[in-house]
Structure 1
Amino acid sequence: MQVSRTRSISVIGISLLLAVFAIAQNKAFHNAPASAAATKNPVAGDAAAIKAGKNIYSQNCAACHGPDGAGTGNVPSLKTGKAQEAKDGELFWFITNGDENNGMPSWKGLPQRQRWQVVRYIRAMKTAGAAAPASAAASTTTASLPKASGNGPFIDYRDEKPGTVRKITAKDLPPPYATKSAGNGPHVVPRPQNAWPQVLPDFKIDVFASNLNNPREIVTAPNGDIFVAETEPGNIKIFRGMTADGKPQQTSVFLSGLKEPFGIAFYPPGPNPEWIYIGNTNAVVRYHYTNGDLKARGEAQKLVDLPTGGHSTRNVRFSNDGKTMFIAVGSESNVDDPEENTGEKNRANILAANPDGSNVHVFAAGIRNPVGLAVNAQTGELWTSINERDALGDNLVPDYITHVQEGGFYGWPYYYIGGNQDPRHKGKHPELKNKVIVPDVLIQPHSASLGMTFYNGKQFPAEYQGDIFACEHGSWNKAVRVGYEVVRVPLHQTNHATGEYEDFVTGFVTPDGNVWGRPVGVTVAPDGSLLITDDGSNAIWRVSHK
């Protein structure tokens, strides 16, 4: 990989050479001491410990980390990445001590043997199967929930209704720790028989495809084929054509065996691409591609190596003129200082590079986890949707959707939403306070804003033209759930946001607080309908205008 420092974010005052990516791979797991790494698991050879650990995990850990350990929202995976690379003793040390700044509680209250059994189960997750989460927690039943907040500015899932317009401003933010930091991961259940996503009366929503495996990013190819990344199994699927009842006419596996793929982009921009680019969690690669290909041709060309662990999504987009490739790289942690945690070097950024992978540099910094990327076809501006930090309370910090200023600094980890200093970094970098950009649109805190797209179809009414649609995957760090919806950001045919957003597709949470759907990615189909991936029900939804 050819790396350059031709541009940098001078306000940070930290070297931005991408060569330091390798450093992160050698540090201890969450800075565990050497004595922890040397500690052996006393139940390492005990098969019964796997079952015991699985039961303990289901009661205490599955709500946030997911029943299969794949993570959820901002919670990292335990079945891949850093957790599996760590020593048993390091895992035990971290479970025991926790990390309040990163939203991980201490579990020293569990008997020592039980903590070791959980470590044993984490080691065996891939073969031991998923642990059932504790049955729908009583704390999330309707009877025990606090009163719904109405129209906000801060709300929860009970307030979400298609057509409701919301606006959060920097002046609305509460002080840090106004409420306790919650651990309330989604309790994902099969879709109940009477549950269905809700849309405005003039729209309808149907299942486009089902029985997928962890569908995440979704894009429309220049010829109209629909490409979907199944991240966990490592596949890219194609859905071609549409029947009269809104189903795909043909399905094909374009690629398999990838490393947690997410981003998909075609190059050069325009009707006749020659390459398809894939954002794996560890690298950007490309394959020769011609319109209509149902299988990848040739071997992958690796263009850019990327750091692994932490936030794993790596989105990829191109500027309208095709000269710049944008790459989203989220943070490794919740709020670690990059000057102290080498694993955070050159992360929490949007990178830019030449299409061949050369001249990699930071385009914008201080962006904790820029999952969604989209380029406005009219203005050429890059936009992003962001997962902000956790563990400051129910209503901090808002996620956001914004256009991205080249050379801009968006605050992470020292500040948020302008010059609001994160108390976990009190007194650090006062010179940055007045340089933090306030994003265009603030979304409900902890919503986990993921994929986004500009609406360029002809099916929806004219007032939707050029607007943004974005997926809110759903909270884990809020006492009462929020997110689990698709929102619309109206640009009012001006290409500029006013700070407002609108609930567009809701209903993925049952009245008693169980979750059955989690929107991830969104694209515009050739007929002008919206296609939305959902890794909760493993489906793709189609929203059409009546």
Structure 2
Amino acid sequence: MPADEIPVSKLKVPAGFKIELWASGMPNGRSMTESPNGTVFVGTRFTGNVYAVITKDGKREVKTIAKGLHRPNGVAFTNGSLYVAELSRIIRYDNIEQNLDNPPAPVVVFDALPKDEPHGWKFMKLSPDGQYLYFQIGTPANIVVPPSTHATIVRLNLKTNILETVATGVRNSVGMDFQPGTKELWFTNNGRDWVAEDKPSDTLNRLVRPKGMNFGYPHCHQGDFLDPEFGKGRSCDEFDKPVYNLGAHVAALGMRFYNGKQFPAEYKGNIFIAEHGSWNKTKRVGYQVVRVVLDSNNKVVKAEPFVTGWLDGENFWGRPVDVQMLKDGSMLVSDDETGAIFRVSYGK
């Protein structure tokens, strides 16, 4: 969508905050990551492009640094290199910030991932120690007993190139982040379709054990709902429970912990989740960024809308996908419908 046609004024944030158009011209822009130098890299699902957004004298310039890739949704940056998760492989662009106008050919890091298109796009997150790339391998269908390789969260060791499974029973996560302090992985998960309007819920989950957790798919959803087809003879007590149920069909995608200093103190440690919005529900839900507040025991105190306005009645003009905290403490929100990124800031 052309920048002058994006109705930013329709977006609403709490008192004291403001939201503005930060960059545009990135068709299908989705997952984001920021380099230490402030370059924001943006992946896509449908266009095959990867973008880089640089800021000069307060103005943004968008560069297309890769074309023709296959579902390059996930992006991560470390040691001067940009990692991109395609559908069935992980690739790497070395020394990329010095070559944004003439990017090098990518190095193939790992190319033995499944090739299933359904839920095949990856969200990717670098571990706090920089040793692992975490990403999901979604289920190859809406509801099916998946192969052991699917409905998982895995991690790739960047030193040994060994891939290992860290969680199973995860239908499809398209957002994850490590909690500051505990360094535990938290992630969103999308519930199955075609059961009912109000179930099962999308979930927020927490990896409290480094390996061996099973979150129930395809037998149990949302921690307490047995699947009508695959739940027979099973119990939800067999499986690990979500931290919080976010609502059915909201399409909870990108999530980040807020650890900056720009927002008021009570926002420290909060989780922000981008809800892409429903596609198969009579009355649309989602299409917003939600704030989740935790107590000192990591229990959810409340969840509330933080950015709204993409949905107008039953019509939507945008769909939030990911959130990214910038070093200055503000927050970016990507929108793959408009191809734009918005910035939420606090104060003057």
Distance 1:505 1:358, change over 3 A: same
Residue 212 of structure 2, aligned match among 403, 407, 411: 407
Given that 1:365 and 1:408 are in contact with CA atoms closer than 8 Å, whether structure 2 keeps it comes out as: yes
Aligned to 2:92: 286
Residue 528 of structure 1, aligned match among 316, 321, 329: 329
1:258 partner letter: L
Q: Per the alignment, in what secondary structure is the counterpart of residue 399 of structure 1?
A: strand
Residue 226 of structure 1, aligned match among 40, 55, 61: 40
The Cα offsets for residues 72-114 of structure 1, whole Å up to 9 and x where unpaired, read as: xxxxxxxxxxxxxxxxxxxxxxxxxxxxxxxxxxxxxxxxxxx
Distance 1:356 1:212, change over 3 A: same
Quote the Cα distance in structure 2 between the aligned partners of 1:439 and 1:317: 20
Aligned to 2:134: 326
Aligned to 2:240: 437
TM-aligned CA deviation for residue 200 of structure 1 = 0.8
Aligned to 1:498: 300
- Are residue 484 (structure 1) and residue 290 (structure 2) matched? no
1:197 partner letter: L
Q: Per the alignment, in what secondary structure is the counterpart of residue 346 of structure 1?
A: coil
Q: Per the alignment, in what secondary structure is the counterpart of residue 312 of structure 2?
A: coil
Given that 2:6 and 2:338 are in contact with CA atoms closer than 8 Å, whether structure 1 keeps it comes out as: no
TM-aligned CA deviation for residue 525 of structure 1 = 2.0
Quote the Cα distance in structure 1 between the aligned partners of 2:174 and 2:293: 20
Aligned to 1:507: 309
Higher helix share: 1
Given that 2:26 and 2:51 are in contact with CA atoms closer than 8 Å, whether structure 1 keeps it comes out as: no
Residue 67 of structure 2, aligned match among 256, 267, 274: 256
Higher strand share: 2
Aligned to 1:160: none
Please list, as runs of the form range in 1=range in 2, the aligned pairs for 1:3-152 lying within 5 A after superposition. none
Give TM-score scaled by structure 2 length.
Answer: 0.90
Quote the Cα distance in structure 2 between the aligned partners of 1:292 and 1:464: 35
Quote the Cα distance in structure 2 between the aligned partners of 1:499 and 1:191: 38
TM-aligned CA deviation for residue 456 of structure 1 = 2.4
Given that 1:215 and 1:228 are in contact with CA atoms closer than 8 Å, whether structure 2 keeps it comes out as: yes
Aligned to 1:75: none
Please list, as runs of the form range in 1=range in 2, the aligned pairs for 1:136-535 lying within 5 A after superposition. 196-241=10-55, 243-244=57-58, 247-248=59-60, 250-267=61-78, 273-289=79-95, 292-294=98-100, 295-307=102-114, 308-338=116-146, 344-356=147-159, 358-405=161-208, 406-428=211-233, 430=234, 433-492=236-295, 494=296, 496-498=298-300, 500-511=302-313, 513-535=314-336
Q: Which has the higher contact order (CA 8 A, sep 6+)?
A: 1
Q: Per the alignment, in what secondary structure is the counterpart of residue 229 of structure 2?
A: helix
Given that 1:191 and 1:516 are in contact with CA atoms closer than 8 Å, whether structure 2 keeps it comes out as: no
TM-aligned CA deviation for residue 381 of structure 1 = 0.7
Aligned to 1:30: none
Given that 2:131 and 2:159 are in contact with CA atoms closer than 8 Å, whether structure 1 keeps it comes out as: no
Quote the Cα distance in structure 2 between the aligned partners of 1:435 and 1:262: 33
Distance 1:356 1:346, change over 3 A: same
Given that 1:489 and 1:497 are in contact with CA atoms closer than 8 Å, whether structure 2 keeps it comes out as: no
TM-aligned CA deviation for residue 418 of structure 1 = 2.6
TM-aligned CA deviation for residue 195 of structure 1 = 5.9
Q: Per the alignment, in what secondary structure is the counterpart of residue 434 of structure 1?
A: helix
List runs of 5+ in structure 1 lacking aligned partners. Answer: 1-189, 268-272, 339-343
Distance 1:292 1:482, change over 3 A: same
Matched residues, number: 340
2:305 partner letter: D
1:348 partner letter: A
Q: Per the alignment, in what secondary structure is the counterpart of residue 106 of structure 2?
A: strand
2:74 partner letter: G
The Cα offsets for residues 497-539 of structure 1, whole Å up to 9 and x where unpaired, read as: 426312100111113x111110001101232211111112221
Distance 1:354 1:192, change over 3 A: closer
Worse overlay, 478-487 or 435-444? 435-444
The Cα offsets for residues 359-417 of structure 1, whole Å up to 9 and x where unpaired, read as: 32211000100110211232111111111111111110110112124311101001123
TM-aligned CA deviation for residue 313 of structure 1 = 2.0
TM-aligned CA deviation for residue 212 of structure 1 = 2.0
Aligned to 2:341: 540
Quote the Cα distance in structure 1 between the aligned partners of 2:297 and 2:92: 31
Q: Per the alignment, in what secondary structure is the counterpart of residue 204 of structure 1?
A: strand
1:284 partner letter: I
Distance 1:360 1:499, change over 3 A: farther
Give TM-score scaled by structure 1 length.
Answer: 0.59
Quote the Cα distance in structure 1 between the aligned partners of 2:309 and 2:15: 14
